[in-house]
Every structure is written in structure tokens, then in C-alpha cells.
Structure 1
Amino acid sequence: MERESFEDEEVAAVLNQHFVAIKVDREERPDIDQIYMTVCQAMTGEGGWPLTILMTADQAPFFAGTYFPKEDRFGRPGLLRLLSSVAREWAANRTEIERTGTGVVSRLKPFLEQSQPGDVREQLLHDGASALLARFDAAYGGFGDAPKFPTPHQLMFLLRYALRFGHEEALRAVERTLLGMAQGGIYDQIGYGFSRYSTDRQWLVPHFEKMLYDNALLAIVYTEAWQVTRNPAFADIAKQVLTYVLRDMTHPDGGFYCAEDADSEGVEGKFYVWTPNEVRDVLGDEVGNRVCRWFHITQEGNFEGKSIPNRIGESLDTFLNEAAIAPERWQSELQDAVRKLFAYRERRVHPHKDDKILTSWNGLMIAAFATVGRVFGERAYVEAARRALQFIQTRLTDADGRLRSRYRDGHAAYPGYLDDYAFLIWGLIELYEATFEPSFLRQAVAFQEQQLALFRDEQAGGGFYLTPSGGEALIARPKEIYDGAIPSGNSVSAYNLLRLARMTGHAAFEQAASDVFRSFAGDVGHYPAGHTFYLLALQFARSRGQDLVIAGSRHDAATVEACRAVQEAFLPQAVVLFRDESAQADALTEIAPFLAAQRPVNGKVTLYLCENYACRQPTHDVKQALAELNT
């Protein structure tokens, strides 16, 4: 519609004569998008983008749809005819149209603003896992048929479910899906990073747009899968994703950009595809032929006459046998070849970069950099998370400490939404566990208290609105629990509240999380598989409530070693705190007073394992503590 209609002078003339045309960036205004997408689904039975809404001046919608060509085509009405027809009807029957819009608002407002409470049952976990596994594609990974979306929080939930209930099928589903995506064309084999979704079952042909949020969540789940399986391929992918983000998606001052388009020079995927001749020109015939064989780059191609590099359906051993090459030599040769192909590709016209910086998506990427840096002991990743946080603090935080949602070209706009607070708090918690610096935990608590004050639904007994109190008046103040491409702010908030409650002993946080669970349990019960981050948080709530406190000196080698062992481990049911005996002022006990008595014993690093706020005998044995946590 951008090319066909909005840049067309004939369409513009009709629009400007009869309408006030407003184009909304749904990433900047998720509140408007949430409201009017619900309107479209209710009025037409379907939704999607582009989203087309006709409304009265007081925001009441009376017509909704998605894509309209300029002229009638394939049974779909053209935008020109639609606009002219509505303009005539408005002139003749304006009162009736306004009545229609008012009726739409009155019917949908309760649906948008209210949640369905219910019983918070463990069965929701089993129902969600069963529904996902019933749709699992054992051949290629993922769930259902084409198109396939990564939806990393589904995998994060299943990974935890597999460990908690000893469910081997759930673990196999996670491993197969992660391997399938990493081998497919949805993963950029030359420059790294994941595209938004695959148009086919095999993960071969992506919609080539790369989104920051996908890559953040995927880096986390690949890291978690490495923690569980120790498969080095998962570690490689997690690190490569962050290599891509640092190289191509990072502002000079540390914030992270939104996305890269699918198109370059007006052609989708042109930047990413290859012919055998191009590869041989770069690498020479011998190495070039091997690389073409490795990445399935063929003369006939797999995408509009060219090839998307991929590794679908072939093992390393098979390739090495057929190529008659030693593994070590091939590994070195491949790394050199990918570097050369990447350098060659850099000379092509790049896809457009959406250089908006969103607080919410940056919160997810801060969580990713902190998680990957913590697990693999990579300080550079943790520093990248720290710099992004500083960017938000200096560019996207008001003088009164409230968050802004979007930054671009020196200008911050829009009061922060629920997702901005929820995702940033998640990032701060991960930064604390990666560094054990109390300042990050203090900031997380402060933003959590601010979120409760601005977004909590006090009348309906819990849950959070998408927009803050005192914000712009729209036809409704929406609440959302559906965990779609991105987890909902309510689901992530429940998870944050539980973790902060355990870290600080703040009982009000735990109660607020319980209110979220209860407030949306009815919605989740209708379709548990669509609420997997809610289920992830619920699984944390239903765990044994374990806390691990490490007490020692930050400058002591044994303490550093103990912290590294704990930071590398997968402990989805626990929170970890570090009591630094060498700090001049014990900042942590100011935030968590219950830690005052947990100090090193006999001058040695000491670990305290607590369950539901009752602590066992302290130990100096890290392996013993981790074994008890994983029992």
C-alpha cells in the first residue's frame, strides 16, 4: 500500500479532499495498534498489517480492513473505490455512520479493558505443553505448518517444563527446533542473525526482515539450551547473533536499533542470495565448489533463481566424507570463506535499517547480552548491556525518572508503555545476576514500583494496562496477556515480580504477581499454548522457591570461581544473590535486609541455599549446592 497508494498522487488527492490521513508506526504506538487490530478482528473476522481503519473525529471506528490495492483486483475492492464510496455515504448518512462507530466502541471497550479471571492451576502447564507438542514438526522442528515463526518463549517454556517434569519429548522438541532454525535460511549463514519468520515448513525461505526482539529472545534460548545440553552449536549461534547485533544494530552510544528491512533495491532478499558463479569468483573454484556444496548454493537455486545459503537435512559427517576433507582443515577453510563472502556481500546495497531505538526491545536485548555474557563469561557482552542501559538512562528517561518509549535523531517521544517497564526490569535483573552489582537490582526495584503505580488495574483486582494512568485518552485502555511474537508485558511482569520478591523479600511484589496470574487465568485457560511466557512465569511461581546466596569477597579467587560456576549453571527455579564482604557499604542488605546474617563462614566463600525463605546449613562446596538446587 505504501508504494501502490500512499505515494500515488491520485489516491492522495482523494484522501486529502475527504479525510484526515494518519499513518501510525505500530512499534511507536502499540496502544493504538492493540485497540484497532482488535476492532478489525471483531468487524471482519481477521487481522493483519497493513491495518486500514476509517473512524470519526472522536476515534470511533466504522470500517476496518487490512490490505487494499489501488484499483479493484482479484475480487478485492480497490482503495480508490472504497474511499469514494465512504465519502459519498458520509455526506448522505453521517449520523448513521457515527452511530455505527459509537456502537463499535461500546461493544469492544469492555473486551479491551477487562480480563477473564480464573483458577490458577498447575494443569495449565500440562495443557500448554501438550498443545504445543501435538503440533510439533519432528522432521524440521517448530510447531505447525508454514509459515513458521521462531516464538522463542515457547521453547523457553518447554525447556523448563522438560526439566521440571522429566519430559524427554519436550526437550527433544526444543533441541530439534533450535537446530532446524540454525540450519535453515531463516538464519543468515553468512552475516548471522535471524529473520522474522519462515514462509515454508523447512525454515528455508524467510521473510528476510530481521527484528531486534527475535534476535534478543533467540540468543537467550540458545544459551539456555547450551546450559542444558552442552551442545556447542547452540553456544555458537547465541554468540553469532550478538556479533550481528553489535556490528549492524548498535547505535554509537550503545542503544540498539529496531530492524532491518527485507528488501534492498526494491527486491526482497536480494542482499542475501547467491549464485555459484558469485561464490567461485570470491573463493576460487576448488574452495568455492565445496562452499556451494556446504550451503546448498546451486545453479537452479532455491529462491527466484538464486540460492539462500542453508544447511537443511545434511550432517557434517556426510559432507566431510563426500568432500574427502579433514574436519580441522574444513573448519579453518569454512571460517575463512565466510569472512570473504561477508566482505563481498558488504559491497552490495544494504536493506534499509529502521534506526528507531525502543526502550522495550532494548530491554530484551539488554537481558540477552547480560544472559549470554554471564553464562559464557564474556565481559564484552555484559559491557554492551551496560552501555545500552546507560543509553536508556540518558536518552529515554525523564527528569522525574519516568521512561520514554522511543528515541530517534536526538528526540525521545511517548510516555513509556507497560512493555517498556517490564522488559527493562527483566534486563536489569539479568544484569544484576551477570555482575552482582547491587545498583542494577536497586534500579529494577525502583522501576517495578513505578510500574505498579502507573499501570496496575486496582479496580479489577490485578493485572496491568498497556498505557500509564494519565496518558493520552483513547477509546479504551487495553490490557494484554497474549504472548505472540513478543511476550506480553503482563506475563513478563509476573515473572519479574516473583524474582524481585524472592530477591528482596518484598511481599507486595509477590502479591502483585499472584494478582496477574488470577486476573488472566480464564484467558489463558482458553488457549494455554498462546500464553507460554505466562506459563513460564507460573512454572517459576510453582517451583520450590529456591534462593542461592553466595557470601564472600569479590577479590577472592575462590569466590570468583564459585560465582562463575553458579552463573554458568541453568537454574530456572532459583534466584542468585551475592553478598560482597569486601564492599565498604553493604548495599545489597539495604535492598534485601534478610541477607544481613548470611556472611562468609571461617573466612571462606560460603553458599546459603534457602527454600521458601528457610535456609539450610551453609556450605563451602559449590558442587554440592548446585546438585541440591538441581534435585
Structure 2
Amino acid sequence: MSGNLLQYETSPYLLQHRDNPVHWRGWNEAAFAEARQLDRPVLLSIGYAACHWCHVMAHESFEDEATAALMNRLFVNIKVDREERPDIDQIYMAALHALGDQGGWPLTMFLTPTARPIWGGTYFPNEARYGKPSFRQVLTEIARLYAEDRDAILAQADSITAHLAKPRPDAGSVPLDEELLDRAGDAILNIMDREKGGTRGAPKFPNTPVLDFLARCHERTGRADLAAIVDTTLAGMSQGGIFDHVGGGFARYSVDAEWLVPHFEKMLSDNGLLLERLALATRISPRADLFRDRIETTIGWLLREMQLEGGAFAASLDADSGGGEGRFYVWRRAEFDALLGPDDAAFIAALYDITPAGNWEHVSIPNRLATPESLGAADDLRRRRILAELRVARDQRPRPALDDKILVDWNGYAIAGLALAGQLLGEPLWVAHAETAYRFITESVARDGRLGHALRAGKMVHPGFSSDLATMAHAAFALHQATQRARYVADAIRFLDDLDAHHRTADGGYHLTADDGEAVIIRKSDRTDDATPNPHGLAADTLIRLWAYSGDDRFRARADAILAGSAANIVANVFGTASLLGALDLRLRVRTVVIIVPPGTTGRELRAVVDAHWRSDIVLDLRDDGDLLSPAHPAFGKSAIESRATAYVCQEGRCSLPVTEAADLAALLEGRAGTVWSPA
């Protein structure tokens, strides 16, 4: 079969390549059957729609007739969207790591016709330079080795595949305790940039699992240095060019050590996770007003530019537009002078570092790194008005491409972020948008009650991966905490039960792929975080919350099995297992605040105290008097006092004495209440 077949795909990334002279195929059995029939190796190219270097390699090589002719003559060529098929991406990225390469995208791998990895790399230039061979040289050499040294090639493929299938190391008797959490917090703190935030040097990534773990360590220990690094990192991102000050939303990462110059693509996953982290930070940070502003503008961007028909959210916005990277987002001082009056132009240019010389490649990236974090009320109102004018003007520029596929896991992050931000900042409309997106995902990206992974143009990737089930369980429980609607707890349990039924490994963990999903050469069950939390960490966290909410020890036992099975990974790589460490922290100190509401009362005042004192270890259970808890719950049998809304704080199998006054509940949550535990 000849010709480029990507016209029959639905992924925006694959469709970007449908007019290439390369005879691309999607990932399917027909492509590998063709390779076996022709006795050719497979060239696998993995990327995503917002990937700048993927575009560069496409322009240099995949759009080049001579290079395409070489690819078509020597290989069967397969294109994969890593966001649509993370199972494929994880396998071959692990193979590249096994070859000693740091990895990245575009991921370029050469495979046998049976999908075993031979060799690979990332971006290859069209001409040899800086010690790196040209892509055409690589193509020719791999094809020659496959034809002339087949036994060695197949032996290497067998060796790499065997390496990928190696069992996880035994943790031995590693204690999962506070001492491990303290050591991990110190180890991570030692590689952080105390002045600018993030890890030392460049590039700088948001890395929300690490920030979340460090924040939890601060909550547990009260250490100011841990709070400071989280606060500094969030402030650096909020003030830097990585944040889109005109339109809202955070870019994928900063290429420099200052948070100034972003890699301009915006991903739904990053922004959902940052909404949640920023919302939590508003409870403890002196920069709460700054973080609230960034939450508001990011949600404005999500609803304006990313929300699709039906209420779910698109995956990403490209870095490139108008023929270059970041052109949609940068400004020249002359544009300000032309768009705004001289006074407004001078005011906003000084505030956002817009200079005639520019701060990046002769243009300016708006940022607040060198200006005050807060302004007076009049100046702040003026700032908002001018930014709205600039956004209207910017919208006339060629826009970055929107990858409008719907990813279940990434929507889960956005749902949880919207739910928590709405709950803590008193914005019920944000919670309503979270519920709308959740409804679309559970009704339209599912089949026979089981979640899928991706949807676009009526085509679904199904069944979903462990990441989808773990993230949506997390999102469901976040919606329960915001709304106290019991159906969300039931959904969280159902998603985690599906995870156990179809993804369970022998050591208490989860394969990424389902047992009835498409067969792949290795069913990965990695424990390390990526740009997003690992499914094991998310699942353990939600299981612990379900245990605290219900008192049902089966949830605790499942969380404990995940943590015990991951102990060796945690000890070997605390930075890469921050989400698991966060779950362990929760396991050791989770608190349930039960508010019992008799008829004629609302419990609103007590709930407001809980929201004002919200920490990552709190589970809220607001229920009517007489609506009994499970007999296994420590608050079982407790009731309202004197027909007033009554709170109990339960931890480690015991509950506090009842409190009915807001001030008393605040003192209890702050640890100022003295000995208030009821007798056992």
C-alpha cells in the first residue's frame, strides 16, 4: 500500500502531517503487517501538536521530497500522537533511555516488524552539524545494518525488550514513615533554586507533584524553608513570562533560569494542576491576592479559548503561529504606542517590561519579574482595563493552532482544579463548569460505563489507561468536596474498582494499559511522575481520602499495597516519585472534618471555617443529622448538639469533642484547642 494514510486519522498532530510526501501510517496492525511483508524496519515518529521541535523536524525532513523518498524506500513509517497513545510513547521512550539517551520529542525510533526497538534518538537535523549526523545519514545506516547485520540488530532488539520487562527491584524492609518523608523533602530542597524557585538552572518546569509534596511537608512540619520554596516558585511563575499576562494561562516551561522566556505552548494538564496548587497556596501564602489573580485569569482563558461544545476542554495550544515561535504572545513597544494613548502605553510598558530594545530576540515578553507584586486599587483597575484592550488587539493576530482532541486524564486535572478553586475562593460558577466538563467526560468519552482516553471527531481511544481512571477518581472526589454530592464518591469508587479490575499488577500497582486493551510488547507500570502525577500516586491519594471519608479499611489496604509496592522506586528516586511521597504524607496525617447539620440549619458558618483553613490533609463530610456514617467510621453514632450544626475532627481512629462555634473549630484546625479528643 502506498501513499500517506494520515488523512484517515483524527488526531490534530497526525493531520498536521497528512500532506507530507512521507508514506505515513497510523499505529495499527496493518502497518506492521506491511513491514513484515516487505521485510523492512519500521520508522516510528512520536510527537504532539504543540511541540516546536516536532514542527522543525517536520519542515526540514518530512516535507523534503528527497528525505521522504528515502524514508519510503527503506522503511514503513508510522506516526503517533503521544497524547493520544501514551502507552506507545512510554514504551519507546523507556527504550531510548535504555540506550543512554535523555529523551524528548520528537521521539524517533527504529523498530523491527514485530515492534521491538532497535535504536533511536529525538530530533535529527537535515544536515550533519555539531557532531550529530543528518537524518538521511541515520536512515541509510539503520537500513544498511538491518539488511547486512540482521542477527546483531535482532539481538539488540531482544536485549532492549528484555531490559524493559525487568521486574521492579525489591524494596526489602524500607520503612514508609515520617523519617523517609523528611529525608525526601531535604533531598529535593537541596536541588531547588532558593532565589528564583523551581529547580536550579534552566530549563524550569512547573513540576506540580514536587511542589505539592514540598507544601505537604511544610504542613506536616511547619518548616518555613519548605513553605518559602513553594511560595517563591509559584510567585516566579506567576510573575514571569511563562504566564500569559495578557490572556491568562501558563506555558509548558521556561527555557531560562528566570521564568522569563517560555516554550510558548500551553497544555491543559499543566494549567489544571496549577489551578489546584495555586488554590491551596491561597490558604497559607502572604501572596494570596497574587495567586487569586492568576487563578482568575487562567480560568478566564480556559473558558474563553479551551472549552469545547459540551463543556470539556481541548488539549493544547501550539507554540508557533504566524510562521514563528511565540509570535502571538510577544510585543514591540511601538505597538503599545499605536494601540494605547501615550499615558496608558507608558504605564503598562513600565509595568510589564516592554522596551524598545526588547527582552528576548528584539521583542518583549510581558512579565512582572522586576515590578511590585501588588498595586493600589486604582492602578490595578487601570492595569486590568488596558490588558483587556491588548487582548482584543492580540486576537487579531494569526492564532496558535488548537489541538481540540479531548483527553480524559487532562480534563480530570482541569475539573479538579476548577472544583477546588471554586470551593476555596467562593466561586460556584467555576464548580459548575467543572461539573459540566465532568458530565461530558463520563457520558461521552465512555463506553458501557468504562472511561476512554481520547475523543475527537467521533473517534474514541478506548478503553482508557490507568492515568484516566486515577485522574478521574481524583476529579470526582474533588467535586464531592466542593459540592458534597454523594454521587461523586460513588463514581470515584467505581473508577478505582475499574482500575483494580483491568490494570492490577502482582505487586499491588497498575499497568498503564487495560487487560482487554490493544496488545503492546510491554505493559508498562511505571511509578515515576512525568509532567503530571503518576497514576499510582493519584490512586493512592484518592483511596486514602475514601478511607478517611468512609472508614472502610479496604480503601486503606489498597493504598498501602500501592505504597509498599512502590517503596524501592521511592527510595531510588524521591524527585521522580513526589506524588507517591505526597500520598504517603496523606496516609500518615489525613483528617476528616464531619459537620452534622440538623433540620433548619445549614452548617454554612462551620463550612466556611473549614474552607478558610483548608490544607491538603483535610477531607470534608457535611451530612444531615441522622444520616448515619458507616459503623467503621470513628464518628459513627455522633450527632448534632443542641440542634445546632456540629463539627467533629477525626484522625487516627478517634474524633474530637463536638464543637458548634466557628472560633472553636478554627482553633481545632489550627492546633490551638488543647486536648479536645473524646475518650475512646
Q: Per the shorter chain, which TM-score range?
A: over 0.9
Superposition deviation, residue 55 in structure 1: 0.8
Partner in structure 2 of residue 433 of structure 1 = 481
Report whether the alignment pairs 1:261 with 2:318. Answer: yes
Partner in structure 2 of residue 324 of structure 1 = none
Q: Deviations over 1:76-106 (max 9, x none)?
A: 1122222222223322333432232122212
Any conservation in 1 of the 2:409–2:471 contact (CA below 8 Å)? yes
AA matched with 1:537: A
Distance 1:115 1:245, change over 3 A: farther
Structure 2 residue corresponding to 1:616, chosen from 627, 650, 656? 656
Structure 2 residue ranges without an equivalent (≥5): 1-56, 672-680
Superposition deviation, residue 46 in structure 1: 2.4
Distance 1:139 1:24, change over 3 A: same
User: What is the alpha-carbon distance in structure 2 between the residues aligned to residue 99 and residue 384 of structure 1?
Assistant: 53
Q: Deviations over 1:189-216 (max 9, x none)?
A: 1111111111111111110011111111
User: 1:91-240, aligned counterparts within 5 Å?
Assistant: 91-110=147-166, 116=171, 118-229=174-285, 231-240=288-297
Superposition deviation, residue 395 in structure 1: 1.1
Partner in structure 2 of residue 546 of structure 1 = 591
Greater shift after overlay, 515-524 or 365-374?
515-524
Superposition deviation, residue 471 in structure 1: 2.3
AA matched with 1:523: N
Tell me, what secondary structure is at the counterpart of 1:298?
Answer: coil
Distance 1:332 1:572, change over 3 A: closer
User: 1:497-512, aligned counterparts within 5 Å?
Assistant: 497-512=543-558
User: What is the alpha-carbon distance in structure 2 between the residues aligned to residue 299 and residue 167 of structure 1?
Assistant: 44
Greater shift after overlay, 339-348 or 7-16?
7-16
Superposition deviation, residue 602 in structure 1: 2.9
Tell me, what secondary structure is at the counterpart of 2:175?
Answer: coil
Any conservation in 1 of the 2:290–2:373 contact (CA below 8 Å)? no
Partner in structure 1 of residue 358 of structure 2 = 301
Superposition deviation, residue 334 in structure 1: 1.2
More helix by percentage: 1
Greater shift after overlay, 488-497 or 124-133?
124-133
Q: Deviations over 1:152-176 (max 9, x none)?
A: 2222222221121120111111111
Distance 1:590 1:404, change over 3 A: farther
Q: Deviations over 1:465-523 (max 9, x none)?
A: 11112322222111111123111011111111111111122212111111111111111
TM-score under structure 1 normalisation?
0.93
Any conservation in 2 of the 1:119–1:518 contact (CA below 8 Å)? no
Any conservation in 2 of the 1:44–1:64 contact (CA below 8 Å)? no
Tell me, what secondary structure is at the counterpart of 2:455?
Answer: strand
Partner in structure 1 of residue 643 of structure 2 = 603
Distance 1:29 1:592, change over 3 A: farther
Distance 1:593 1:171, change over 3 A: closer
User: What is the alpha-carbon distance in structure 2 between the residues aligned to residue 610 and residue 333 of structure 1?
Assistant: 47
Partner in structure 2 of residue 423 of structure 1 = 471
User: What is the alpha-carbon distance in structure 1 between the residues aligned to residue 631 and residue 520 of structure 2?
Assistant: 38
Superposition deviation, residue 555 in structure 1: 6.5
Tell me, what secondary structure is at the counterpart of 1:44?
Answer: coil
Any conservation in 1 of the 2:594–2:622 contact (CA below 8 Å)? yes
User: What is the alpha-carbon distance in structure 2 between the residues aligned to residue 504 and residue 574 of structure 1?
Assistant: 14
Report whether the alignment pairs 1:447 with 2:491. Answer: no
Superposition deviation, residue 553 in structure 1: 5.2
Any conservation in 1 of the 2:606–2:665 contact (CA below 8 Å)? no
Superposition deviation, residue 116 in structure 1: 5.0
Report whether the alignment pairs 1:532 with 2:581. Answer: no
Partner in structure 1 of residue 411 of structure 2 = 362
Report whether the alignment pairs 1:336 with 2:385. Answer: yes
**Aligned-residue CA RMSD (Å):** 2.1
Q: Deviations over 1:341-395 (max 9, x none)?
A: 1110011111011111110011111100100011011111000110011111221
Report whether the alignment pairs 1:495 with 2:544. Answer: no
Distance 1:202 1:556, change over 3 A: same
Partner in structure 2 of residue 323 of structure 1 = none
Superposition deviation, residue 145 in structure 1: 0.5
Distance 1:114 1:245, change over 3 A: farther
User: What is the alpha-carbon distance in structure 2 between the residues aligned to residue 436 and residue 381 of structure 1?
Assistant: 15
Superposition deviation, residue 591 in structure 1: 11
Partner in structure 1 of residue 104 of structure 2 = 48
User: What is the alpha-carbon distance in structure 1 between the residues aligned to residue 636 and residue 668 of structure 2?
Assistant: 23
Partner in structure 2 of residue 312 of structure 1 = 369
Partner in structure 1 of residue 343 of structure 2 = 286
User: What is the alpha-carbon distance in structure 1 between the residues aligned to residue 599 and residue 107 of structure 2?
Assistant: 54
Any conservation in 2 of the 1:257–1:357 contact (CA below 8 Å)? yes
Any conservation in 2 of the 1:579–1:599 contact (CA below 8 Å)? no
User: What is the alpha-carbon distance in structure 2 between the residues aligned to residue 555 and residue 345 of structure 1?
Assistant: 52
Superposition deviation, residue 300 in structure 1: 0.4
User: What is the alpha-carbon distance in structure 1 between the residues aligned to residue 561 and residue 337 of structure 2?
Assistant: 61
Any conservation in 2 of the 1:377–1:564 contact (CA below 8 Å)? no
User: What is the alpha-carbon distance in structure 2 between the residues aligned to residue 469 and residue 491 of structure 1?
Assistant: 21
Partner in structure 2 of residue 386 of structure 1 = 435
Report whether the alignment pairs 1:246 with 2:317. Answer: no
Structure 1 residue ranges without an equivalent (≥5): 321-326
Q: Deviations over 1:393-444 (max 9, x none)?
A: 2211112x11100011222223111110111111111100100011111111
Report whether the alignment pairs 1:516 with 2:562. Answer: yes
Tell me, what secondary structure is at the counterpart of 1:297?
Answer: coil
User: What is the alpha-carbon distance in structure 2 between the residues aligned to residue 527 and residue 259 of structure 1?
Assistant: 29
The count of aligned residue pairs is: 613
Q: Deviations over 1:542-586 (max 9, x none)?
A: 11x4221111158734x223223323322322311111349xxx5
Percent sequence identity is: 35
Report whether the alignment pairs 1:407 with 2:433. Answer: no
Distance 1:138 1:106, change over 3 A: closer
Distance 1:447 1:553, change over 3 A: farther
Tell me, what secondary structure is at the counterpart of 2:594?
Answer: strand
User: 1:79-90, aligned counterparts within 5 Å?
Assistant: 79-90=135-146
Any conservation in 2 of the 1:375–1:569 contact (CA below 8 Å)? no
Superposition deviation, residue 148 in structure 1: 0.4
AA matched with 1:547: T
User: What is the alpha-carbon distance in structure 1 between the residues aligned to residue 663 and residue 515 of structure 2?
Assistant: 48
Report whether the alignment pairs 1:625 with 2:665. Answer: yes
Partner in structure 1 of residue 123 of structure 2 = 67
Distance 1:405 1:336, change over 3 A: same
AA matched with 2:541: Y
AA matched with 1:207: H
Superposition deviation, residue 618 in structure 1: 2.1
Partner in structure 2 of residue 18 of structure 1 = 74
User: What is the alpha-carbon distance in structure 2 between the residues aligned to residue 626 and residue 405 of structure 1?
Assistant: 42
User: What is the alpha-carbon distance in structure 1 between the residues aligned to residue 670 and residue 354 of structure 2?
Assistant: 45
User: What is the alpha-carbon distance in structure 1 between the residues aligned to residue 517 and residue 553 of structure 2?
Assistant: 29
User: What is the alpha-carbon distance in structure 1 between the residues aligned to residue 567 and residue 556 of structure 2?
Assistant: 17
User: What is the alpha-carbon distance in structure 2 between the residues aligned to residue 14 and residue 355 of structure 1?
Assistant: 33
Superposition deviation, residue 115 in structure 1: 7.0
Of structures 1 and 2, the one with the larger relative CO (CA 8 A, separation 6+) is 1
